[in-house]
Amino acid sequence: MNIFRLCGDMTHLLSVVVLLLKIHTIKSCAGISLKTQELYALVFATRYLDIFTHHVSLYNTVMKIIFLGTSFTIVWYMRHHKVVRQTYDKEQDTFKHYMLIIPCFALALLIKTKFTPLEVLWTFSIYLEAVAIFPQLVLLQRTKNIDNLTGNYVFLLGAYRGLYLLNWIVRYFTEKGYRQWITWISGIVQTALYADFFYYYIKCWRNNEKLHLPS
């Protein structure tokens, strides 16, 4: 495992910590898209079905359990916690799940490595993760006052994807025969979705302004 992969995973973990900090400590999920969080829970549930059958390392197994556990915990907080759920911007978070889930599933049936249930679901999870941030980005654009934790959460998620791209470049040059086209192309699409957000995040940070996205 190279440094970019490790930093990518740690950035991903940190993004979850930041979000849980906001939800659990501040008891607010304002500006957070439940749609995106539900899509992430679905991503991990379909990708990590191999958790008991396919052992890579203790590190991988522990991380999988953390991402599965935290994603469902976040969804539970936003839907059921009596204080947190009242801070959810339901009227603004209007993106429809099926608009992302159905095309991703269709694509997974068409473009995959093997036609087995586990393989199709794994491929589906890769495609879905690439676009799962979409409802969150739409919600951010509609939010007038984006708080620091929400802005940092999305920034960390984008940074995690960017670090994974660097990880793949290193692996391509250091591991013989290493290639994974489905993951690479989805990863590039996913990172590109953050480009606009990054631009405004850095611009506002450099000007010492509060983060705001043009609508």
44 in Cβ contact with 71 (< 8 Å)? yes
Which of 50, 188, 202, 205: binder of other proteins (CB under 8 A)? 50
Binding residues among 16-35 for other proteins as defined by CB under 8 A: none
2 binds other proteins (CB under 8 A): no
67 binds other proteins (CB under 8 A): yes
Binding residues among 102-161 for other proteins as defined by CB under 8 A: 113, 122
- Which region among 31-39, 55-63, 85-93, 137-145 touches other proteins (by CB under 8 A)? 55-63
Which of 87, 92, 141, 183: binder of other proteins (CB under 8 A)? 183
First to last CA, the chain: 40
Task: Give which of 213, 209, 210 is closest to 199, Cα–Cα.
Answer: 213
CB of 52 to other proteins, least distance (A): 14
CB of 112 to other proteins, least distance (A): 10
Six-digit token string for 74: 């976040």
Which of 51, 120, 180, 212: binder of other proteins (CB under 8 A)? 180
DSSP annotation of 49 reads G
Task: Give which of 49, 161, 42, 169 is closest to 101, Cα–Cα.
Answer: 42
Which of 27, 64, 79, 85: binder of other proteins (CB under 8 A)? 64
CB of 8 to other proteins, least distance (A): 9
The alpha carbon of residue 156 and the mean position of all alpha carbons in its chain are separated, in whole angstroms, by: 10
Q: How many CB atoms lie within 10 A of CB 204?
A: 16
55 binds other proteins (CB under 8 A): no
CB of 48 to other proteins, least distance (A): 9
119 in Cβ contact with 112 (< 8 Å)? yes
Give the residue carrying structure tokens 């992302």. 100
